[in-house]
Chains A and B, each alone.
Chain A
Amino acid sequence: MTDAPLERFVELSAALTGFRASDLWGTGQARAHLDLVLSVCGEGLGARLLAADPDQIGAVLADPDLGPLARNVTVLWYLGQWDQLPRAWRDRHGTSPADVAHVASAGAFRAGLVWPAIGTHAPSADAPGFGSWASPPAAAP
């Protein structure tokens, strides 16, 4: 049985991050990231976010409720860290004990997309081997 909300989250995340859904699944972080998002925004807003159309990402980002969440989801994938949501958003939706700036987990840090995006690997993880740094960098995708 497929986990439809998780699949929708990954499809949306792919549109937000510019990485393929298969890349995101491959990080092993999809479930943990979705759980973190839902723990902050709750089921109601979470359902709205997951119902958003990945092909209309501009509209999602422009939405006063969903936009800040979508930007945080993007940072979460790229850095493995959660940024506290803007004050205006918290004033509208209330605060959550999970909504504090923090690194989601050591694994989330290691799986951050910023590293492959810039042609490298997370510091302290996935070492490329002796002398690799002397080679020309891989061309940007």
Chain B
Amino acid sequence: MSDYDVAVVGAGPSGAIVAAELGAAGRRVLVLEAGPAAGRTWAEYQGNVAHYQASAAKVPNSPYVATQGAPFPDVLDITRLEPGGPEGDGGYFVQEGPLPFSSDYLRSAGGTTLHWLGTCLRMLPHDFEMASRYGVGRDWPIGYDDLGPFYERAERELGVAGDVADQEYLGVRFPPGYVYPMHRIPPSYGDRRLAAGLDGRPLHLDGEDVAAVVTSTPQARNSMPNPAYDSHRGYEPVGAVGHRHSGLRCEGNASCIPICPVQAKYNALKTLRRASEGPVEIRTQAVVSRVVLAPDRRRVRALEYIAYDDGAVPAAPERVTADVYVLAANAIENAKLLLHSGAANGSDQVGRNLMDHPFMMAWALMPESVGAFRGPSSTAGLEMLRDGAFRGRRAAFRAEIANWGWDFAGFAPYADVAEAVHGRGLSGRALRSWLARRIPRQIRLGFLLEQLPSPHNRVTLDRRTDGLGLPRPRLHYDLDGYTRRGMAAARECATQVFDLLGAADATAYLPGDPGYVTLDGQGFTYHGSGHVVGTHRMGSDPETSVVDDRQRSWDHENLYVVGAGSAPTIATSNPTLTLAALAFRAADSVLDDLGAA
């Protein structure tokens, strides 16, 4: 008899959802999490807030301290790579280039949802049909309508605030009477100013006119519950872990990334709390080092893991057995573990098709204050260019409208203060009024560009190892012409938007930027979106995909590999809502498998 019914690797959103669903069905579940339990008590969570406040560089991982046993990538490690130059070896990743993979993630209970923004857009129906419709990328083995019921479960689990009427565009559809659990988060004053200048005005792109629309963003952030939800049963917002009465509404702390101090923004700690109501055991600082296959390789026989305590010599690997195994460790970590184990790779696709949303910003100064640096990081976006006939030749994109001025683009307001004091020599009232006149007028767009799956963008294992002697991920990454043409269109979009708003464009892409790329002599800078996608893609053919449409390995009948790594294409939506929906679908399938066993 196995030690557990199900062993889950990773306590981020996918693993937490699978564990909670199986636990609720009475299944005995073990969750092995490589990272620490950072923030599962309120005192510890507030310690993370203070750590962020005292950090010099307030990057997404700044509140969280890496353990020796589970190091994670940090955006501060990203450097420019030169042709023929040394590979990037400054952090957890080994970056082979030609371009740096510029996203991070977090190895911790709760996973990267600890520092995510919370954007919960659904994918568009056409996103599932890229190959058959546009002749690029891959079709998914499932369509929008297959995922619809699972999107609804994900929207409940994550606690999404949104307005259905705002989201019915480009083919997105909902069942009659469906509403989100909570009313939309109020759009910011800046959103309303931009909408006043943009809505209905034409943008000329790809030889066509497209009417601009500022659209509210559905987001996993506690808002006013919608009494009509769930056939008028309503919805009760879920408060903080360790402090249930905190975070029942977004309070406007304006620090969603890297940490919501009250947990009004969903994080997977909340789902872990739900999981703990069932027969679910969560073991942190337990790094799975190998998936052990049965001799005939048709089944997984055990997981090998190393329990560690920082400062102590790591224990010898232990083994645990289960009837079903679920890898939910993040796309790069899943690929690393499978490659290291020689498992699930009959298709030779494990680790390939690594994607991110290259994140290209454009920023400008409005004629008047938009009240920057208030509210959630983004409450609206430009979504009308997420789909169109242009997708045959260039990447689609969405643009988030930032509420925090030139934050990530220009290190505002820190760089503004430095410029005023050290650069302009301002002091006293003149200093104060210069800052007050300038910073609240800052606006920024963040374009999330689509990237096509490529076998060459991939994760392999480096010979260099981490603190436990496990191989570090080695990344090969590039942006093709399809994405770069999308960047050119996005840049043109930004120019026209700023013109319509009468805003002074201040965008600058510098050749020394780590993510500086060119197209026909024009330069652009991308950053990472933290959307790590595509390394164990699902499909309908075992020859060309790693998992089937339920995220079960084609090679090993009791192994599931779940998360954004299963996505065949990245589309333009932030991936967490979709990976959560897929996790519910996988959990149902695991239950079916267990029932049949």
Residues of A in contact with B (beta carbons under 8 Å apart): 15-19, 57, 61, 70-71, 74-75, 78-79, 81, 83, 101-103, 105-107, 109-110, 113-115, 117-125, 127-137, 140-141
Contacts and interface: CB of A to CB of B under 8 A. Distances in A.
A118 B421 contact: no
B251 A129 contact: yes
Q: Which 8 A-B pairs have the closest CB atoms?
A: A133-B375, A137-B371, A18-B432, A127-B251, A106-B53, A124-B255, A123-B255, A140-B436
Interface in B407-451: 413-414, 416-418, 421-422, 425, 427-433, 435-437, 439-440
Contacts of A81: 56, 414
A15 B375 contact: no
A132 B53 contact: no
Contacts of B468: none
A122 B250 CA distance: 16
B573 interface: no
Nearest to A54: B428
Contacts of B376: 133
Interface in B351-371: 369-371
A16 B428 contact: yes
A119 B436 contact: yes
B261 interface: yes
Given A61-B425, A133-B403, A134-B188, A118 B373 contact: yes
A106 B425 contact: no
A133 B379 contact: yes
A106 B54 contact: yes
| Contact residues on B (Cβ < 8 Å of other chain), bracket | 35 or more
Contacts of A122: 53
A133 B188 contact: yes
Contact of B55 (A101, A103, A110, A136): A103
B418 A75 contact: yes
Nearest to A58: B427
B431 A132 contact: no
Contacts of A119: 369, 371, 374, 436, 440
Most buried by B among A101, A133, A134: A133
B550 to A, nearest CB: 39
A130 B418 contact: no
Contacts of A101: 56
Nearest to A81: B56
Contacts of A57: 427-428
A132 B49 contact: no
20 contacts: A17-B428, A17-B432, A18-B429, A61-B425, A71-B427, A74-B421, A75-B418, A83-B422, A103-B55, A105-B54, A114-B416, A119-B371, A120-B373, A124-B261, A129-B252, A131-B186, A133-B374, A136-B371, A137-B370, A140-B433
Contact of A133 (B371, B414, B436, B437): B371
Nearest to B192: A134
Contact of A124 (B259, B428, B431): B259
A117 B262 CA distance: 25
Given A18-B431, A74-B427, A79-B414, A130 B252 contact: yes
Nearest to B414: A79
B427 A15 contact: yes
Given A18-B429, A119-B371, A124-B259, A114 B251 contact: no
B436 A141 contact: yes
Contacts of A141: 432-433, 436
Nearest to A122: B53
Most buried by A among B55, B56, B437: B56
Contact of B413 (A19, A110, A114, A136): A114
B24 interface: no
B50 interface: yes
A125 B253 contact: yes
A134 B189 contact: yes
